[in-house]
Amino acid sequence: MKSSRNTWHIRIGTPKLYRSVIEDVINDVREVFLNDSVDEQVLVELKTVSDVY
């Protein structure tokens, strides 16, 4: 039973981890993107795509 509980945690926890990492990266590159004249809409679209996962 212990392994099935661990599997449940992995299935539920992994998408949250992915979203958290993606959000951190987007937040960290926002200033660099804006300084390089990349439209902020690109970051919005990246976040939208990451919300699918």
Helices (H), 1-53: 2-35, 40-52
pLDDT value of residue 39: 92
Look at the alpha carbons of 14, 16, 19, 22 in this order and tell me if their dihedral is positive or negative.
negative
pLDDT digits (tens, 9 = 90+) for 4-43: 556 655 666 778 888 888 899 999 999 999 999 999 999 8
pLDDT value of residue 1: 45
Q: Give the global pTM.
A: 0.63
